[in-house]
Amino acid sequence: MNKQPLVGPRIRRFVMEYLPNDRNLALNTQHSYRDMFCLLIPFVAEKLGRPIEKTTVSELSADVVSEFLKYLKDVRKCNTITCNQRLAAIHAFAQFVGRNSPEHIEWCGKVRDIPFKRFSRTLIRYLEKPEIDALLAAPDQRTEGGRRDHGLLLFLYNAGARASEAADLRIGDLHYSKRTWNDGEVEIHGKGGKTRECPLWPVTVRTLDALIGNRPPDDHVFLSRLRQPLRRCGIWDCVKRHAKTAAATMPSIAKKQVSPHILRHSAACHLLRSGVELNTIRIWLGHVNISTTNIYAQIDLEMKAKALAACEIADQKPLGKRWRDQKSLMEFLRTL
């Protein structure tokens, strides 16, 4: 009697070989898949009452996966987007197993038939220009830490950079001339190993130039007070802290959940308002698909109002009696 294939070795191959080599996924994406298994494996082991190493592929059934998703929602209080992300990782694993084990094609189909949950997208938030100015003015530039924080906030807004991209930024990625300060640009290493170039304002170039001093090109631009590279969590803390300070002079900021990503949204919205083409903004932000950038064309109510006013038609005279109420045929014809 043939033993049923175990799920453990397939999970190992999926994580160690398929994701980094065949799919060439970014490290953060690989970590997301890993986190899914760190939740799924203990759940399945408890559900079946034995170690996961003895669990077969077929025992990780569609019913078990459905119960896992219910557990994420009801017990861990995950939102629909997070549950869908976990399910997408499970779908990918099922497809991997199905491709490499023809005997599991039916199992693969059942797991991949588990549908994603529908959800309504929340409106993207961004800061208005006066709110951006208040945020940039919040750091105390009389101190070394304040000058670093001001440069960081200015860079995030100028380049529309993600927190991880700012954390990975090195001095050698900055290109500018001190003679003019007008030709500055930055080479940003984004998600999935993709690289893009963004122009820098002269004020950003001057600020970053004063910040980096004479440090070597391979050094990180933004350092902690211990002279270590500033990490993503440090960048988040910086933005949150100065948003709280800025709210004292600009109360509207307190109503918004300010984060590094809201600066990215703000940069896109302000570029769009300034008349920059949507495809240029796509390249600026490093989006692969233009449909991702289209969300910024949908969130600015002011732009919608202007577009509506541009196509407004003049008032027309009332049509008068309805044709059924016009007794005379000639009267009816004259109204046409």
The 3-state DSSP class for residue 325 equals: helix
Identify the pLDDT of residue 301: 61
- The answer to whether residues 253 and 153 belong to one domain is yes
Identify the pLDDT of residue 159: 93
CATH assignment of the domain containing 270: 1.10.443.10
161-209 residue pLDDT tens: 999 999 999 999 999 988 878 889 999 998 777 899 999 999 999 999 9
Identify the pLDDT of residue 277: 87
Residue 56 within a domain: yes
- The answer to whether residues 154 and 281 belong to one domain is yes
- Decide: 175 and 198 in contact? Cβ < 8 Å: no
Q: Is 191 a catalytic residue?
A: yes
> Which residue range(s) make up the domain with 232?
129-308
- The answer to whether residues 184 and 280 belong to one domain is yes
Identify the pLDDT of residue 304: 65
Alpha helices of the chain — where are they, by DSSP H? 7-13, 27-48, 62-74, 80-100, 105-112, 129-137, 144-159, 163-168, 202-212, 232-246, 260-273, 278-285, 290-293, 301-310, 329-334
Identify the pLDDT of residue 1: 39
What's the rounded mean pLDDT across residues 55-74? Answer: 94
Q: Which residue shows structure tokens 């002079």? A: 249
- Decide: 188 and 195 in contact? Cβ < 8 Å: yes
Residue 323 within a domain: no
**Would you say how long the chain is, in residues?**
336
Q: Is the pTM of this model over 0.75?
A: no
Identify the pLDDT of residue 321: 55
Identify the pLDDT of residue 306: 64
Q: Is 261 a catalytic residue?
A: yes
What's the rounded mean pLDDT across residues 1-20? Answer: 86
Q: Report how many domains make up the chain.
A: 2
User: Exactly one of 10, 86, 242, 287 is catalytic; which is it?
Assistant: 287
Closest to 236 (Cα-Cα) out of 250, 247, 222, 249: 222
What's the rounded mean pLDDT across residues 212-239? Answer: 94
71-119 residue pLDDT tens: 999 999 999 999 999 999 999 999 999 999 889 999 999 999 999 998 7
Q: How far apart are CA 259 and CA 157, in angstroms?
A: 11
Q: Is 162 a catalytic residue?
A: yes
- The answer to whether residues 134 and 179 belong to one domain is yes
User: Exactly one of 10, 150, 220, 264 is catalytic; which is it?
Assistant: 264
Q: For the ranges 270-274, 275-279, 296-300, 328-332, which has the lowest average pLDDT?
A: 328-332
Residue 123 within a domain: no
| Position 123 pLDDT exceeds 80 | no
Q: Is 287 a catalytic residue?
A: yes
CATH assignment of the domain containing 77: 1.10.150
Identify the pLDDT of residue 2: 47
- The answer to whether residues 105 and 133 belong to one domain is no
User: Exactly one of 220, 261, 270, 282 is catalytic; which is it?
Assistant: 261
Q: How far apart are CA 262 and CA 3, in angstroms?
A: 53
- The answer to whether residues 183 and 274 belong to one domain is yes
User: Exactly one of 162, 220, 265, 282 is catalytic; which is it?
Assistant: 162
